[in-house]
């Protein structure tokens, strides 16, 4: 089973991922999506021992309280090899470079191309497994 | 004195004549010995100082000699008596030569005066010569020297006289003058040097100041250029960031619209289709709102300025806002209080004004919603008022919601500043409202107490210049 965490402050994102993943990525095997409306909740989840190991994090950048970059840094402090995808509506080279330098695995811009995301997941997760 | 003595001596002649001659003369007269009388009288006439003699006897002049020049003090008449009978034999007139004496003394006096004058002159000349030689010449020399002292003559004052031992007052004077002159020269030199220094300093300072001024001017120019560049960059940057912000705001709902509508094409679950359609509609509206706001902000709208019932617009704005919120199942306040003035008509861009008021009212309701969520017993109040104040119409939107942090200040009118959760607002509401107020030639101001209340006042001019013209 593949465990993916999704962090985005817009609630509709989670519905979107849920439906899209169900339709497009059934061939990836069993997927378990866990959604968070903010970064701190995600961090709390990662510290828990009673949850299955996380395989990948998909995070928005612009969020109140803590943005995607900070979340990436905090996650990599504990789990440096955990794949981390950045998703942002800001299509700027500045964000892309910052995400790269902080060690993000991928940088996706909104609107999300789910076919591209599917290819990336296949590649990155098969390397893992 | 001499004169008085001589005069007395002369007067004494009268006494001599009286004592010595009169008796014998009486005898001779008595005997009438004219020869002897003549001898005697000749002798008498030769007596010193006797100028006139006349002997009269029996009214007959017996003897007369000299010139008569009678006066009180030189004339005397002697009566010649017979020594036994006391008979007057004759009279003797004697005149003394006082005039001569006087003249002589006068001449003497003049002579003495002249002699004394000459003597004095000689002595004075002599003294003058000596004085001149030992003093005046030197003083003149000193005076000449002093006259030329200012003409930078460097020669010391020296007396033109042989050297001698000791020091007299002239030497002291000369030394003092020389000392004074050299001191003066020294002082002058010092002063001149100081002046020159000062002049040089002034020149130097002036030069420095000029240089500084020039560099300042250069710096100013540079700053101006930099400012211009900055302004241009700022414009580009703000255009860039505006574009980026707008892109971001549109990409987010577009992400849903695109991906959800893709799902719609091959979904067969009717519940799922319904839910997806609702989400697609919601995010399409978001995009629509953003595009409208951008249009209002950029001025590309088809609104017309016309006399409008402001109270009507206020009511419609509230109703629109509430119904929009209800459609998205958002919070709606239980009541609203209107405090509207009587028939307020003012020129307005009706659609824009409606949008501005809706935006402000939506924010007010949002502020109430936040407080309601935090505090169940809180009683939300929203008051909408209109009033004419001077030349303007004031539309006041007041709520007792969460208020606005003081730190935000005028930033609340900045584009893309929002306190709402993601997807609820793009941060353009107040920016648009502010622009619409300006478009009317009016203002949008607010006051607030954080945690207590907020009040927005949109003021519109009663007479718009574009309408009146």
Rounded Cα distance, B12 and A36, in Å = 173
User: Is B259 in contact with A112 (Cβ distance < 8 A)?
Assistant: yes
| More confident: A126 or B124 | B124
Strand partners, B344: none
pLDDT > 70 fraction of chain B, expressed in percent and rounded: 92
Comparing B42-56, B142-156, B159-173, B192-206, the range with the smallest average pLDDT is B142-156
Q: Which residues of B169-188 are buried (b: 16+ CB within 10 A; e: fewer)?
A: ebeeebeebeeebeeeeeee
Of residues A54 and B268, the one with the higher pLDDT is A54
| pLDDT above 50 for A129 | no
pLDDT, one tens digit per residue, over B421-463 is 655 666 778 888 998 898 888 999 999 999 899 999 999 998 8
Does B237 contact chain A (CB < 8 Å)?
no
Average pLDDT rounded to a whole number, residues B356-369:
92
Instruction: Check residues B12 and B253 and name the one with the higher pLDDT.
Output: B253
**DSSP assigned state of A9:** S
Question: Are the Cβ atoms of A111 and B422 closer than 8 angstroms?
Answer: no
Q: What is the mean pLDDT of residues A81-94?
A: 87
Return the pLDDT at B226: 83
Q: Where in chain B is the domain with CATH 3.30.565.10?
A: 301-468
Instruction: Report which of residues B33 and B355 the model is more confident about.
Output: B355
Q: What ipTM, to 2 d.p.?
A: 0.86
Q: Is the pLDDT of residue B468 over 50?
A: no
Which candidate from A12, A20, A63 shows the least CB-CB separation from B263?
A20
B462 touches chain A (CB under 8 A): no
pLDDT of res. B459: 94
Q: What is the pLDDT of residue B469?
A: 41
Contact of B413 with B360, CB cutoff 8 Å? no
**CB-CB under 8 Å, B256 with A16:** yes
- CB neighbour burial string for B23-39, b if at least 16 within 10 angstroms, e if fewer: eebbbbbbeeeeeebbe
Does position A78 have pLDDT exceeding 50, yes or no?
Answer: yes
Residue with the larger pLDDT of the pair B67 and B264: B264
Q: Any CB–CB contact under 8 A between A90 and chain B?
A: yes
Candidate from A11, A63, A89 with C-beta closest to B255: A89
Q: What is the pLDDT of residues B170-222, one digit of tens each?
A: 788 888 888 887 888 889 889 999 999 999 999 999 999 999 999 999 999 88
B301-468: CATH number: 3.30.565.10
pLDDT band at B238 (very low <50, low <70, confident <90, very high): low
Ordered domains of chain A (ranges, CATH): 2-112 (3.40.50.2300)
CA–CA dist A15, A18 (Å, integer): 5
The 3-class secondary structure across chain B, one letter per residue, is: CHHHHHHHHHHHHHHHHHHHHHHHHHHHHHHCCHHHHHHHHHHHHHCCCEEEEEEEECCEEEEEEECCCCCCCCEEEEEEECCCCCCEEEEEEEEECHHHHHHHHHHHHHHHHHHHHHHHHHHHHHHHHHHHHHHHHHHHHHHHHHHCCCCCCCCCCCCCCCCCCCCCHHHHHHHHHHHHHHHHHHHHHHHHHHHHHHHHHHHHHHHHHHHHHHHHHHHHHHHHHHHHHHHHHHHHHHHHHHHHHHHHHHHHHHHHHHHHHHHHHCCCCHHHHHHHHHHHHHHHHHHHHHHHHHHHHHCCCCCCEEEEEHHHHHHHHHHHHHHHHHHCCCCCCCCCEEECCCCCEEEEEHHHHHHHHHHHHHHHHHHHHHHHHHCCCCCCCEEEEEEEECCEEEEEEEECCCCCCHHHHHHHHCCCCCCCCCCCCCCCHHHHHHHHHHHCCCEEEEEEECCCEEEEEEEEECCCHHHHC
Q: What is the pLDDT of residues B92-151, one digit of tens each?
A: 888 877 777 778 888 888 999 999 999 999 999 998 888 888 888 888 888 887 777 665
Among B301, B284, B419, B280, which residue's Cα sits nearest to residue B362?
B419
Question: Cβ separation of A89 and B263 shorter than 8 Å?
Answer: no
Residue of B243, B246, B251 to mutate, testing the A interface (most A Cβ within 10 Å of its Cβ): B251
**0.90 exceeded by pTM:** no
Residues of chain B within CATH 3.30.450 domain(s) are 2-96
Q: Say yes or no for a CB contact (<8 Å) between B254 and A63.
A: no
What's the Cα-to-Cα distance from A20 to each of A126, B27, B44, B109, B344, rounded to whole Å? 20, 207, 194, 165, 54
Cβ contact B362:B328 at 8 Å: no
Among B58-62, B316-320, B394-398, the minimum mean pLDDT is found in B58-62
A53 interfaces chain B, CB cutoff of 8 Å? no
Among A81-90, B97-106, B221-230, name the most confident range. A81-90
When CB atoms are compared, the residue of B259, B266, B282 closest to A16 is: B259
Residue A20 sits at the chain B interface (C-beta within 8 Å): yes
Residue A47: phi and psi, rounded to 5, are: -85, -15
CA separation for the pair B422, B251 (Å, rounded): 13
CATH architecture of the domain with range B2-96: 2-Layer Sandwich (3.30)
Rounded to an integer, what distance in angstroms lies between the CA atom of residue B351 and that of residue B301? 10
For B255, name the nearest residue in chain A, comparing CA atoms only. Answer: A111
B262 or B69: which leads in pLDDT: B262
Query: Do the Cβ atoms of B259 and A15 come within 8 Å?
Result: no
Distance between B319 CA and the closest CA of chain A, angstroms? 27
Range of lowest pLDDT (B106-115, B146-155, B228-237, B408-417)? B146-155
Mean pLDDT across B329-338: 86
């Amino acid at each position: 089973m593949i465990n993916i965490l999704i962090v985005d402050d817009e609630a509709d994102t989670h519905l979107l991922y849920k439906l899209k993943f169900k339709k497009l990525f059934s061939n990836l095997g069993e997927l378990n999506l866990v959604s968070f409306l903010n970064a701190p909740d995600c961090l709390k989840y990662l510290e828990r021992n009673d949850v299955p190991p996380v395989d990948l994090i998909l995070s928005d950048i612009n969020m109140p309280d803590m943005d995607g970059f900070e979340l990436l840094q905090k996650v990599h402090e504990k789990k440096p090899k955990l794949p981390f995808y950045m998703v942002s509506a800001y299509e700027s080279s500045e964000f892309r470079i910052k995400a790269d330098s902080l060690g993000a695995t991928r940088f996706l811009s909104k609107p999300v191309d789910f076919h591209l995301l599917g290819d990336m997941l296949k590649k990155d997760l098969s390397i893992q497994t | 004195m001499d004169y008085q003595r001589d005069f007395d001596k002369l007067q004494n002649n009268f006494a001599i004549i009286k004592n010595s001659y009169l008796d014998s003369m009486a005898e001779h007269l008595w005997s009438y010995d004219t020869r002897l009388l003549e001898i005697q009288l000749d002798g008498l006439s030769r007596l010193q100082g006797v100028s006139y003699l006349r002997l009269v006897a029996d009214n007959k002049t017996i003897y007369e000699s000299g010139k008569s020049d009678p006066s009180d003090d030189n004339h005397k008449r002697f009566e010649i008596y017979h020594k036994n009978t006391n008979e007057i034999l004759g009279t003797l007139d004697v005149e003394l030569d006082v005039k001569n004496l006087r003249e002589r003394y006068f001449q003497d006096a003049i002579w003495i005066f002249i002699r004394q004058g000459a003597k004095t002159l000689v002595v004075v000349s002599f003294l003058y010569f000596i004085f001149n030689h030992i003093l005046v010449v030197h003083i003149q020399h000193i005076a000449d020297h002093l006259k030329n002292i200012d003409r930078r003559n460097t020669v010391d004052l020296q007396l033109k006289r042989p050297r001698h031992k000791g020091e007299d007052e002239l030497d002291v004077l000369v030394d003092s003058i020389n000392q004074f002159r050299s001191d003066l020269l020294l002082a002058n030199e010092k002063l001149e040097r100081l002046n020159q220094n000062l002049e040089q300093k002034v020149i130097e300072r002036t030069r420095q100041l000029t240089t500084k001024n020039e560099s300042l001017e250069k710096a100013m120019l540079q700053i101006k250029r930099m400012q211009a560049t900055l302004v241009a960059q700022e414009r580009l940057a703000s255009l860039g960031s505006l574009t980026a912000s707008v892109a971001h705001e549109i990409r987010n709902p577009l992400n849903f619209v695109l991906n959800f509508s893709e799902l719609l094409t091959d979904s067969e679950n009717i519940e799922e289709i319904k839910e997806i359609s609702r989400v697609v509609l919601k995010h399409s509206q978001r995009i629509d709102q953003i595009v409208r706001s951008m249009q209002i902000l950029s001025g590309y709208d088809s609104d017309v300025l016309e006399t409008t019932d402001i109270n009507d617009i206020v009511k419609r704005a509230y109703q629109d806002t509430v119904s929009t919120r209800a459609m998205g199942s958002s919070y709606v306040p239980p009541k609203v209080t209107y405090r509207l003035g009587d028939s307020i008509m003012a020129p307005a861009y009706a659609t824009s004004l409606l949008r501005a008021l809706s935006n402000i009212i939506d924010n007010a309701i949002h502020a109430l919603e936040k407080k309601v969520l935090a505090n169940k017993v809180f009683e939300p109040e929203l008051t909408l008022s209109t009033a004419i104040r001077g030349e303007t119409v004031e539309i006041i939107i007041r709520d007792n919601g969460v208020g606005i942090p003081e730190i935000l200040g005028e930033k609340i009118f900045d584009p893309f500043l929002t306190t709402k959760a993601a997807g609820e607002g793009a941060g353009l509401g107040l920016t648009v409202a502010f622009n619409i107020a300006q478009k009317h030639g009016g203002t949008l101001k607010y006051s607030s107490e954080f945690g207590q209340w907020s009040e927005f006042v949109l003021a519109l001019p009663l007479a718009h210049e574009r309408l009146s013209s």
